[in-house]
Structure 1
Amino acid sequence: MNGVTKTVAITHLAGNVNIGDAPEYQINSAINELLICLASKASPYVRLNRKPTAETIRKIDHNNLRAKSNIIKQYLEHSSKIEEAYVDVDALIPFGKDMILQNLNGFYCAALDELNIEYVCEAVDMNKIRANSIFIVDFVISKLRNFVYESMNKPAYKENVELGINVVVAHAFIECVVMENPDAP
């Protein structure tokens, strides 16, 4: 058998080429600490029929996010746990909650950039936000999922990751870190 040669031709390179694990895979992330803390607060599953507050419904309608009600429902079932998990993260990492929320807002801004929606020099066009709201939330979830799996300190179970990501993104939505605040000028 002849030796097999594998060749990769790289033409226009704008960054590093890593063979094997990239260096960022060797670094812990604050968001993963949050997901680990959230998973440690697990309790027997009890289906809660909590309804969102009028303010939350207003945010959902303002941002046209009825199609993402599933993550809001997951958040409502875990809302007290996420607040406790953020307290635990802040105890482990100075300003951990702020770091996580800034990162989520960065993912949101990246989604707006992807859609060419202006948000720095002028007011956000709510018609464009509303028309693309599902894409925006899915984009944030996708970016967060990649970020979580590319960090060293991953939660032990995929179910913890998936549920945690939905709850964290919904919490960021409720806090108006991701998507737009109906009370903003």
Structure 2
Amino acid sequence: MNRTEYYNYIDEKLHTLALRIDTNGKLNMLHLHMHSESFYLHLLNLLYGYKLENLNKSLQNVAAIDLIDHKNKIIIQVSATSTKAKVESALEKKIIKQFPSYKFMFLSISKNASKLRNNNFRNPHGISFSPASDILDVKSILNEVLQKDMTAQKGVYALIRDELGNEVDVVKLNSNLAMIINILAKEKWSDDCQSDPVHKFEINRKISHNQLNKAKDLIEEYSLYHGKVDSKYSEFDSMASNKSSSVLATIKREYIKVKDTGSSDDVFFSVIDVLKTKVVESANYSQIPIDELELCLDILVVDAFIRCKIMENPEGYKYAAS
């Protein structure tokens, strides 16, 4: 199983657990909540290197605190309720005063907490608590998983498989992305098929706007193939309508998934890596040497950059083929 499959499996299982917690009756919900505390204890320890333990082992039914890490001085409340009132209720509990040098964190296990992070909270005991970084949810945890290397992702996968379910059965399907790569792989990408884009200045302006340093040379070099890629897309669309549109939509979708996970350069190359996996996994991919595949993907992603499908556009940006 590759990196993308690991990530998708983790995403599916965490959201399935969240859905069960959110929709089950009170009796089942209590059982699931206790199971979630144990599960997230191990998951957070694995992901962040914490030394969390369940506080209920030493103090029964402690309000406001479920998990505690004495080494890193962290206390965490695990909750299926993601509201400002819930967080403030925890911060106001007297037990908080017993941990003045600790950091308080709040883990929402069934709701997206992105809006919750924007609130200001009453914190009467003055414990360390920064909503932007100390409120966790499934999405923030998945983003952390995405940034891990393959070895670390395998560890997370093994934990979730053992706790929440069996391996996902991956079935290969055809994709238009693989089809266009098959077409591009047959082309000669040499100096005689290069041509300056109509709005070369606009491309350089977009590179600067996104502060692309590592990807700059790649974009400048492969933007010269934009005209040829455009003609290949036209041939592609002659087979059936929306083929090129579906490829560009796939590239944009993968960009949206990773756009907030690192620097602009990291995001740019992450898109290429994810697309490489998608192509290799496609049933209709005609295998070619890896360096040729990477060349075709680089050219395709640079073309998508020019066409406004990835990265932010500067004000008044003119699409290079216009």
So what's the TM-score if we normalise by structure 1? 0.72
The answer to whether the Cα contact below 8 Å between 1:38 and 1:85 also exists between their aligned partners in 2 is yes
| Residue 141 (structure 1) shift | 0.9
| Structure 1, gaps ≥5 residues long | 1-7, 116-131
| Residue 62 (structure 1) shift | 0.4
CA-to-aligned-CA distance 1:51-108 (integer Å, 9 cap, x gap): 8711111000001113212321342342222112111221224201111111111111
1:110 aligns with 2:257: yes
Alpha-carbon RMSD across the aligned residues, in angstroms, is 2.7
Letter in 1 for 2:164: L
The answer to whether the Cα contact below 8 Å between 2:174 and 2:284 also exists between their aligned partners in 1 is yes
Distance 2:195 2:175 in 1: 33
Correspondence for 1:68: 215
Distance 2:232 2:174 in 1: 17
Correspondence for 2:232: 85
Moved over 6 A (4+): none
1:138 aligns with 2:269: yes
Equivalent of residue 163 in structure 2, options 4, 7, 12:
12
Distance 1:16 1:95 in 2: 34
| SS in structure 1 of the partner of residue 191 of structure 2 | coil
Number of aligned residues: 156
Distance 2:218 2:163 in 1: 40
Correspondence for 2:99: none
| Structure 2, gaps ≥5 residues long | 1-157, 318-322
Letter in 2 for 1:46: D
The answer to whether the Cα contact below 8 Å between 2:223 and 2:303 also exists between their aligned partners in 1 is no
Distance 2:166 2:242 in 1: 30
Structure with greater contact order relative to length (CA < 8 Å, sep ≥ 6): 1
State the identity as a percent.
26
1:1-185 mapped onto 2 (5 Å cutoff): 10-13=161-164, 17-18=168-169, 22-23=170-171, 25=172, 27-42=173-188, 45-46=190-191, 53-112=200-259, 114=261, 132-158=263-289, 159-183=291-315
Question: Between Structure 1 and Structure 2, which shows a larger proportion of strand residues?
Answer: 2
Q: Which moved more, 1:85-94 or 1:135-144?
A: 85-94
The answer to whether the Cα contact below 8 Å between 1:30 and 1:89 also exists between their aligned partners in 2 is no
